[in-house]
Homo-oligomer: A and B are copies of this chain.
Amino acid sequence: MNLTNRISIPAIMEVGFDKLANLGFYINKAGFDKIAIFFGSGIKELFGDTVLSSIKNIGNIEITKLYEFESNDISDIVENGFSIPPKTDLIIGIGGGRVVDVAKYISFLNDKPFFSVPTSTSNDGFSSSGSSLVINGKRTSVHAKMPYGIVVDIGVIKKSPVKFFYSGIGDLISKITALNDWKYEEENNKAIVNDFAAMISKKSIDSVLRLDFQSIYEDYFIKEFVDSLTLSGIAMEIAGSSAPASGSEHLISHALDKILSIPQLHGIQVGIATYLMSRVQEYRKERVEYFLKTTGFFNYVKNIEIKFDDFEKAIDIAPTIKPNRYTYLHNKKYNDMAKTILRSDKILKDILI
């Protein structure tokens, strides 16, 4: 009997238009009626009316407590997080990545189901079981609660700042090199690929890559894009690790976080690193380049100032970030190759400074 390895798949996954205005319906459908809500900073002004009247309309849902709170410092979380009224049967986080992380963690501490309602999708965190918090002054990834429900309103996402869009795109494309790193790890007997997690991760990115779109603001593109980030979070849950969604390109980004005093958005760094690593891995590099070009990602990140020197340092220390893994960057040959390509690639020359 092995009852200790187990996965949680969200029971509610709604990605589409007017989802915020139907939030009450989904809460009710899932059988909850005593909810605590966390709004991110400024979110109640923007969407409070929509959300609260959708809940009111259902009739029998009680809001046990309403927070406007998004400090992700563990001390604040602990101080406030245990004040959830015991009768609460669902915790909802509405807003950007930060409040989603905070509410997700408080759900974990209280062992209560969680609804993730992101108003921007700069990475796949809204559908994963982890939270990024500040612990003893340092940004730390911690285990939290897999969402029971994920509700994403395309109309809301559409109006979110462009930087979050491109960050999300960078995070999405990273699944290509991440999956290839995982396969490489298995070939080197350092890991076992979970075939199902790999397959849904691959399918979800491919269905976006092969989409015929004119603009990333098209409804159809956004829907597909958010669906795919959602599946990416779930693939990690199924795999029991971040491997299906995070490889060498993520290590470079984590390294940049250490090097830079003010890092760029996670997905921005990851997207650039994905392009580089697809060249190093010689794996679907035309596809990656084409996608980052046609979505406008390359154009957008030109305005972001990242230095060649920092990127090079990041490649150097990337393997030390997760010493137990074995990505292409953990092999000196490819690590060196990454640095060579970094300095010679035409597109990167155009982006980095």
A interface vs B, CB < 8 Å?
1-14, 29, 74-75, 78-79, 82, 87, 109-111, 113, 135-136, 140, 142-143, 148, 192, 194-197, 199-200, 202-204, 206-207, 210-212, 224, 227-228, 230-231, 234, 238-240, 324
The answer to whether residues A6 and B3 also contact, given A207-B207, A227-B203 and a CB cut-off of 8 A, is yes
Indicate if the CB atoms of A109 and B142 lie closer than 8 Å. yes
Contact partners of A197 in chain B: CB under 8 A: 1
Contact partners of A204 in chain B: CB under 8 A: 203
Within the complex, which residue of B8, B113, B227 is in contact with A199, where a contact is CB–CB below 8 Å?
B227
Contact partners of A82 in chain B: CB under 8 A: 74, 135-136, 140, 142
User: 6 new A-B pairs (CB below 8 Å) besides A1-B7, A109-B142, A199-B227?
Assistant: A1-B5, A1-B197, A3-B7, A10-B195, A110-B143, A203-B203
| Number of copies of chain A assembled together | 4
CA distance A240 to B113 in the complex (A): 14
> In the complex, what's the smallest C-beta–C-beta distance from A275 to chain B, in angstroms?
21
A149 nearest in chain B by CB position: B195
Within the complex, which residue of B8, B136, B203 is in contact with A79, where a contact is CB–CB below 8 Å?
B136
Within the complex, which residue of B109, B196, B207 is in contact with A206, where a contact is CB–CB below 8 Å?
B207
11 A-B residue pairs with CB within 8 Å: A1-B5, A1-B194, A1-B197, A1-B238, A1-B239, A2-B2, A3-B9, A75-B78, A82-B135, A109-B143, A110-B142
